[in-house]
Amino acid sequence: MNKNVDEYPVIWLQGAGCTGCSVSVLNSVSPTIKNVLIDEVIPGKHVNLRFHPTIMAGAGELAIEVLRDTQEHRKGEYILIVEGAVPTAEDGVYAVVGEEDGKPVTLLSRVLSLGANAMAVIALGTCAAFGGIPSGSPNPTGCRGVMDTFETHNISTPVINIPGCPPHPDWFVGTVASILIGGLPEPEELDEFGRPKLFFGSLIHENCPRRAYYDERKFAKKLGEPGCLYDLGCKGSVTYADCPLRLWNGGVNWCIGNNSPCIGCCEPGFPDVVSPFYAKMEEYLPQGGEK
Ligand code: SF4
Ligand code: SF4
């Protein structure tokens, strides 16, 4: 590595989740994931992904030693990325990351110790941000989001929430790039749930191409029909994300563009508060308006 390039160590932990967030980010189109992980993300700044359970080459004690080394020697310099919720019931026994002295170490313990010493934490995906699907009722494993977990343990490391089930790769890459360029976001750049307003600043409903149907009260009664998808369960009127403008899969399409209602995957309380996905909301009418 060129000595004139600043290197930012990154530790990526996975908890209660499906690894879909990793899959989504690994499919980043522009920049490619190779650009993100191997090249300079921006001139003079390079991300050094030191630990990632799915894609790292190391394993066993060798890999765990990287966690110890980063926590000890790069204190306050590294970014911790958490994917998946944090199981907290029974002292977090439902998820472990390696061993210390021959005993399993819980994800809860790793998140707390690595998190307390990190420059910042990115809670990637709705599970890490808000608990997501693993925290759905009745939540026997006590799954919680990172911010919530930190609050109960008095850890004040900044947490940036990038929800989504999965999150869009641009939301992740854009957030990392903005940290490398200008440092951590100012409080006013995040919404009340710790999400960057750059990506989560407006309702799906505000930018939806079917909005004219909604305003004219033309509602689809079956999937595949033209019309607003409100009666088919669309949660776009209570969901903040830029999907209608950004589109998915390299700009090919997005949920509503493919005739599927928005299921509110970026919102706190997902999936319980937006369930059933394909049932019309009665209690969550759009702000300031009657349907
Ligand atoms: S309710 Fe859904 S489909 Fe209808 S305009 Fe709003 S976001 Fe679009
Ligand atoms: S349109 Fe809604 S359900 Fe689809 S990815 Fe965006 S926020 Fe999630």
Residue range of the domain that includes 231 = 204-274
Catalytic residues: 18, 21, 127, 165, 205, 208, 228, 234, 243, 255, 262, 265
DSSP string, 73-94: HSTTTPEEEEESBEE-GGGGTT
Pair 93, 157: CB distance under 8 Å: no
Q: For residues 68 and 12, what is the distance between their CA atoms, to the nearest angstrom?
A: 13
- Whether residue 279 is predicted with pLDDT greater than 60 in this model: the reply is yes
Residue 79 forms part of a structural domain: yes
Mean pLDDT of the chain: 93
Q: For residues 243 and 222, what is the distance between their CA atoms, to the nearest angstrom?
A: 22
DSSP string, 20-46: HHHHHHHT-TTTTHHHHHTSEEETTEE
Residue 285 forms part of a structural domain: no
Residue bearing the CA closest to ligand 2, atom 1: 262
DSSP string, 179-197: HHHH-SPPGGGB-TTS-BH
What pLDDT was estimated at residue 232? 97
Residue bearing the CA closest to ligand 1, atom 4: 228
* CATH assignment of the domain containing 268: 4.10.480.10
Domain limit, last residue, from 198, 215, 243: 198
Structure confidence by residue, pLDDT tens digits, 104-161: 999 999 999 999 999 999 999 999 999 999 999 999 999 999 999 999 999 999 999 9
What pLDDT was estimated at residue 285? 47
Per the structure, how many domains does the chain have?
A: 2
193-211 residues labelled b (16+ CB within 10 A) or e (exposed): bbbbeebbeebbbeebebb
For residues 29 and 123, membership in a common domain is answered with: yes
> Does ligand 2 come within 6 angstroms of the Cβ of 204?
yes
Structure confidence by residue, pLDDT tens digits, 60-74: 999 999 999 999 999
| Cα separation values, 84 from 25, 122, 197, Å | 14, 11, 22
For the CA of 211, the closest atom of ligand 1 is 5
For the chain, the straight-line distance linking the first and the last C-alpha, in angstroms and rounded, comes to: 58
> Does ligand 2 come within 6 angstroms of the Cβ of 203?
no
What pLDDT was estimated at residue 286? 45
* CATH assignment of the domain containing 111: 3.40.50.700
Pair 23, 168: CB distance under 8 Å: no
Domain limit, last residue, from 171, 198, 225: 198
Residue from 202, 218, 231, 237 whose mutation best tests the ligand 1 pocket (most atoms within 8 A of CB): 237
Structure confidence by residue, pLDDT tens digits, 205-255: 999 999 999 999 999 999 999 999 999 999 999 999 999 999 999 999 999
Structure confidence by residue, pLDDT tens digits, 168-179: 999 999 999 999
Structure confidence by residue, pLDDT tens digits, 22-58: 999 999 988 888 888 878 778 888 899 999 999 999 9
For residues 77 and 126, membership in a common domain is answered with: yes
| Sequence-ordered list of residues with C-beta below 8 angstroms from that of 164, at least 6 positions apart, any chain | 21, 24, 125, 126, 171, 241, 265, 266
Phi, psi of 112 (to 5 degrees): -70, -45
Of 35, 8, 42, give the one whose Cα is nearest residue 169. 35
pTM for the model stands at 0.94
For residues 143 and 190, membership in a common domain is answered with: yes
> Does ligand 1 come within 6 angstroms of the Cβ of 141?
no
- Whether residue 164 is predicted with pLDDT greater than 80 in this model: the reply is yes
For residues 188 and 242, membership in a common domain is answered with: no
For residues 35 and 179, membership in a common domain is answered with: yes
Of 116, 118, 123, give the one whose Cα is nearest residue 16. 123
Q: For residues 126 and 132, what is the distance between their CA atoms, to the nearest angstrom?
A: 5
Q: For residues 107 and 85, what is the distance between their CA atoms, to the nearest angstrom?
A: 10
What pLDDT was estimated at residue 5? 67
How far is the centre of ligand 1, averaged over its atoms, from the C-alpha of 216 (Å)? Answer: 12
Of 94, 173, 132, give the one whose Cα is nearest residue 17. 132
What pLDDT was estimated at residue 282? 79
For residues 210 and 193, membership in a common domain is answered with: no
